[in-house]
């Protein structure tokens, strides 16, 4: 979009978010759901297969070239309390907090959010009470896909892009969710802060290539001593 239309990444989020929600909803409702037959193990296998297909399709269409975009504010910084902070990273942090707050409000105050929590807690009970479980699964998957689009738009001013770039983020996202506690939005925020802090400190003292060692060590320790996550329910 930036190359063909000259659209700023931060403006593209308003186009890509609903578009990716529709893609995610369609994939879950008409491919992942029917193919998995409601089995969580099958869902994992189907989504893994889709990821391989999508990655190879992108590889065929765009090759393996690593690309970046040039925006005027890409290297801009602002001084805060004597520390210079990158403008894109500051915008990314603030936007992540806003998105997390909106998701929390959606889950807490809307009928759709209550239905999502009901299905997550007890799928059969939710189905017996009249909730369309297949629709709720698709909405949830669509929301997750929309969040991926938002994250991509926030990262692209300072990050490179290639068909394989998502692989590293999958591990970090999984670690963040488990650290914070499954199903806890405040926990996901806290987990993200811990992951970023530990990765930065380890990268500073051990080198950038070893920055993620501390993250996964922390992940193992949390699984050993707090399997439910920092803000999740105790196992």
Query: Would you say residue 41 lies in a domain?
Result: yes
16 and 52, same domain (yes or no):
yes
Query: Would you say residue 200 lies in a domain?
Result: yes
CA angle, corner 125, sides to 120 and 127, nearest 5? 85
Domains of the chain: total? 2
Query: Would you say residue 95 lies in a domain?
Result: no
- Give the pLDDT of residue 235: 47
- Chosen domain end from 137, 163, 189: 163
Token pair recorded at residue 234: 């105790």
Other beta carbons less than 10 A from residue 67's beta carbon: 12
Location of structure tokens 């926030």:
154
Q: Are 35 and 42 in contact (CB under 8 A)?
A: yes
What is the Cα–Cα distance from 36 to 42, expressed in whole angstroms?
A: 5
- Give the pLDDT of residue 182: 77
Q: Is 211 exposed, middle or buried (0-12, 13-18, 19+ CB in 10 A)?
A: middle
Q: Are 146 and 21 in contact (CB under 8 A)?
A: yes
Query: Would you say residue 91 lies in a domain?
Result: no
Rounded to two decimals, the pTM is 0.85
CA angle, corner 220, sides to 216 and 222, nearest 5? 115
- Three-state secondary-structure class, residue 74: coil
Q: How far is CA 88 from the centre of its chain?
A: 18
Written as tens digits, the pLDDT of the chain (235 aa) is 556 666 888 999 999 999 999 999 999 999 999 988 877 778 888 998 999 999 899 888 888 888 888 888 888 899 888 888 899 999 999 999 999 899 999 999 999 999 999 998 888 899 999 999 999 999 999 999 999 999 999 999 888 888 888 887 888 888 888 888 877 778 888 888 888 888 888 888 877 767 778 888 888 888 888 888 877 665 4
Token pair recorded at residue 181: 């506690």
Query: Would you say residue 201 lies in a domain?
Result: yes
30 and 61, same domain (yes or no):
yes
Query: Would you say residue 97 lies in a domain?
Result: no
Full residue range of the structural domain in which residue 148 is found = 2-72+102-163
Query: Would you say residue 96 lies in a domain?
Result: no
158 and 212, same domain (yes or no):
no
HEC profile for 163-190? CCCHHHHHHHHHHHHHHHCCCCHHHHHH
65 and 125, same domain (yes or no):
yes
Token pair recorded at residue 133: 């479980």
188 and 112, same domain (yes or no):
no
- Chosen domain end from 130, 163, 196: 163
- Give the pLDDT of residue 119: 92
Token pair recorded at residue 115: 């239905």
117 and 224, same domain (yes or no):
no
127 and 66, same domain (yes or no):
yes
41 and 111, same domain (yes or no):
yes
112 and 50, same domain (yes or no):
yes
- Chosen domain end from 120, 143, 163: 163
């Amino acid at each position: 979009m930036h190359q063909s239309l000259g659209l700023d990444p931060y403006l593209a989020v308003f186009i890509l978010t609903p578009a990716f929600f529709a893609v995610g909803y369609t994939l879950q409702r008409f491919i992942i759901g029917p193919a998995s037959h409601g089995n969580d193990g099958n869902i994992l296998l189907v989504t893994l297969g889709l990821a391989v297909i999508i990655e190879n399709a992108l590889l065929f269409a765009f090759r393996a070239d690593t690309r970046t975009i040039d925006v005027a504010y890409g290297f801009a910084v602002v001084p805060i309390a004597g520390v210079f902070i990158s403008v894109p990273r500051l915008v990314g942090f603030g936007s992540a907090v806003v998105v997390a707050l909106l998701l929390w409000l959606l889950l807490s105050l809307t009928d759709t959010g209550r239905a999502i929590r009901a299905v997550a807690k007890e799928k059969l009970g939710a189905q017996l009470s009249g909730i369309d479980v297949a629709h709720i699964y698709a909405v949830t998957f669509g929301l997750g896909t929309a969040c991926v689009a938002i994250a991509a738009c926030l990262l692209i001013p300072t990050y490179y892009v290639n068909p394989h770039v998502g692989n590293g983020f999958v591990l970090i996202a999984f670690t963040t969710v488990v650290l914070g506690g499954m199903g806890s939005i405040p926990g996901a925020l806290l987990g993200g802060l811990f992951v970023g802090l530990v990765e930065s400190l380890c990268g500073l003292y051990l080198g950038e290539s070893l920055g993620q060692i501390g993250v996964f060590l922390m992940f193992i320790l949390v699984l050993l001593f707090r399997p439910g996550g920092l803000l999740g329910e105790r196992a």
